[in-house]
Amino acid sequence: MSSLFVLNAAHLHLVLNHVPTLGMAVGLALLLLALIRRHEVLVHVGLEVLFVIALVTLPVYVTGAAAYAHLRSGADFSDIAARMHQDVALTGFAVTEFAGFVAWVALWQSRRIGRAGRGLVAAATVLSIIALAIMGRAATLGGEIHHPEIRAEGVAPPVVGTNGEKVDVTDQFVAARISRYMVNSTWAWPAAETIHFLGLSLSFGVLLAINLRLLGVMRQVAFADMHRLLPWALLGFGANLITGMLFFVGQPGQYVDSPPFHWKVVFLLIAGANFLYLTVFKKAWADDGFDSRFADKAMAVSSIAAWLIVLYAGRMLPFLGNAF
């Protein structure tokens, strides 16, 4: 497998990094407009935008880590500025994913009962405001990495302690501490791997069932009943996103230049888009004896294929890349 990246990682990061800030601002604007105009369709669009932003924020973080791995050895590169940016970005990533999760629950619910719960929409709105604020800060700190002229005075933590001794500044960073823990602990990595495998079984099994329904198996079951299973798939996926990020933050060097990892991220995005389609599309709900249209069958096949490629690329990480 050769790498997907025509652009180098730093360039790709510069292209993608506007999504969590500008995209989130658009999603938030849609939700606020929907609240003012009391327009249900606008609410759905706003929630869907939040879900898509949560998806795309994954490659933003990944390409950022790749850019850091490539640039950190440069002579005029500020390691501290980059680490400060990374820590804020990691927090922003977590809040963005949570906002996307809440948005998804609201979308799932609105598909079932016709409208999204007001509490969920309010929670998604508040979370996206917080995510936007943190990502704005991350963007500022990111810009300062290569633009020392805009760097605020006194933001960098002191390298020298109060008594003049040298302090290991990396200790102060969350990402560095997660990494140290994942690498040094005897059980953290194996435990996370185990949860990762259990999560993949749950997600894959549930999505296999739902997609088989679209392909004509279990024809007598209403699609609405299969739709009820979707949160179980997201439960498995959530476990895998968390454990996957622990691996990535733990040992970014294993992944950033690994072609199977690049493919895995790309097909995760495709699988995520499929997941959104399964959540919100209307046609399957029309009647109980529903015969899937060609487009739905194509969606089902591409969903299963995308997850198989994600699984294959993930399993190949130790062989085609250098992960353990």
Of 198, 242, 301, 305, the one binding other proteins by CB under 8 A: 198
Answer left, alpha or beta for residue 307, where phi above 0 means left and psi between -120 and 50 means alpha. Answer: alpha
- Which residue's CB is nearer to other proteins, number 130 or number 209? 209
The one-letter code for the residue type at 117 is: G
Q: Does 32 bind other proteins (CB under 8 A)?
A: no
Near other proteins by CB under 8 A, which window of 22-30, 41-49, 160-168, 191-199? 191-199
Near other proteins by CB under 8 A, which window of 119-127, 214-222, 247-255, 263-271? 214-222
Scan residues 227-246 and list those touching other proteins (CB under 8 A).
228-229, 232
Q: Does 271 bind other proteins (CB under 8 A)?
A: no
The encoded tokens of residue 149 equal 């002229």
Q: Is 160 helix (H, G, I), strand (E, B) or coil?
A: strand
Near other proteins by CB under 8 A, which window of 149-157, 159-167, 221-229, 237-245? 221-229
Q: Look at the block and give the residue holding tokens 């999504």.
A: 19
Q: Does 1 bind other proteins (CB under 8 A)?
A: no
Closest CA to 51 of 278, 276, 279, 277: 276
Q: Is 26 helix (H, G, I), strand (E, B) or coil?
A: helix
Of 225, 283, 288, 298, the one binding other proteins by CB under 8 A: 225
160 CB burial (10 A radius; 0-12, 13-18, 19+):
exposed
Count, residues in the chain = 324
- Which residue's CB is nearer to other proteins, number 58 or number 192? 192
Give the DSSP letter string of 174-236: HHHHHHHHHHH-TTHHHHHHHHHHHHHHHHHHHHHHHHHHHTTTTTTS-HHHHHTTHHHHHHH
Q: Does 194 bind other proteins (CB under 8 A)?
A: yes
Of 241, 265, 316, 323, the one binding other proteins by CB under 8 A: 316
Near other proteins by CB under 8 A, which window of 18-26, 275-283, 286-294, 314-322? 314-322
The binding site for other proteins (CB under 8 A) comprises 189-190, 193-194, 197-198, 200-206, 208-209, 212, 217-218, 220-221, 225, 228-229, 232, 308, 311-312, 315-316, 318-320
